[in-house]
Amino acid sequence: MIHSHAATMSNQLHNTSSLIFSVEESGNDSLTLTTELQPLAVNPWDVVVCVAGTLVSFENAVVIALIVYTPTLRAPMFVLIGCLAFADLLAGLSLIVNFVVIYMLDTGLVTLLSAGLLITAFSASVLTILAITVDRYLSLYNALTYHTERTVCFTYFTLVLIWLTSAALGSLPVLGWNCLEEEATCSICWPVNKNNAATLAVTFLLVFALILQLYLQICKIAFRHAQQIAVQHHFMTTAHVSSTTKGVSTLSIILGTFAVCWIPFAMYSLVADGRYPAIYAYATALPAICHSFINPIIYAFRNPDIQRSLKLACCGCLPPSFTMRPRTPSDV
């Protein structure tokens, strides 16, 4: 999917002309027909994408294993982190499958299914990040009622909604939003057509706007809490200032990383099509792919409880200073 229409046509030409016929003149003046099998030309960018998918799959598989095999990681926030890791794992595997489809199984239906799987996985990843942001906001806005059974039910309902929405977006190429029969309608991601690409890009931009608005509200709540503490104690301690500053810095990193990785690809999908040079599509798509590699670092490996589980899994021991304490999603 993450390759231009021109590159796909090139692969098809290689597939149809892999047998090169030559005519040789033998000693008795007769003509001998020989065949020579020519190897397929592999685009280096496709190899890079496949390797990136492998790294993404491995890293997120580690996160899923830690959450599944650690009984203490069952809170709603860890369920959401596990969902994000599963979506990114599926995205990485989809990139590997896409590489195989391009060079080995390049048929119409298989290509559409591969594209749909990619769209489903990356859509679920982005929507899960939105769900994590909502969870963080609710943990601060409704701090007294957050740790209730209703929160757990809401979390699982959110997961079902995420995957249903992602599957609906992923089914669009199979349902006809593709350019297999009309090459002029191709987007930068073959065989997705321009309308499908525009729908996905606009959806992403709306999700990003929601995430930005929620994080702004989270910052306001955090500063309000810090001011209330300062009023109660008649001064703001260094620890409070440091904690608030650290929180704002973390949110800035999360938003900045998300924007840098995804906005170029979303904007380029809106303005470009399959006639544009393939290198631009790869250059904007790779940061979006790398975001699935960065997600575990931001949302999982920074969490002390997951760090504890990772240390137990790696060496079976913990430093004396490493203790478990109750945490909220705002700590993630």
Q: What is the pLDDT of residues 68-83, one digit of tens each?
A: 988 888 888 899 999 9
Chain centre distance of CA 245: 28
Is the domain 44-234+243-315 a CATH 3.40.50.10860 member? no
Encode pLDDT of 237-286 as tens digits: 555 555 556 667 778 888 889 999 999 999 999 988 888 888 999 999 99
193-247 pLDDT tens trace: 888 888 889 999 999 999 999 988 888 887 776 666 666 665 555 555 555 566 6
Query: Which residue did the predictor score with more confidence, 310 or 243?
Result: 310
How many other C-beta atoms are found inside a 10 Å radius of the C-beta of residue 228? 10
- pLDDT > 50? residue 4: no
**How far is CA 113 from each of CA 70, 123, 252, 257, rounded to the nearest angstrom?**
34, 15, 36, 30
pTM score: 0.81
- pLDDT, position 88: 96
What's the pLDDT at 244? 57
State how far Cα 246 lies from the chain centre: 26
Determine contact, residues 133/329, Cβ cutoff 8 Å: no
pLDDT at 320 (0 to 100): 43
Each domain of the chain, given as residue ranges in start order, spans 44-234+243-315
φ/ψ (deg, to 5) at 97: -60, -40
pLDDT digits (tens, 9 = 90+) for 31-71: 444 444 455 688 899 999 999 999 999 999 999 999 998 88
Residue 20 has pLDDT above 50, yes or no: no
* pLDDT value, residue 144: 67
Q: What CA–CA distance (Å, rounded) separates 138 from 135?
A: 5
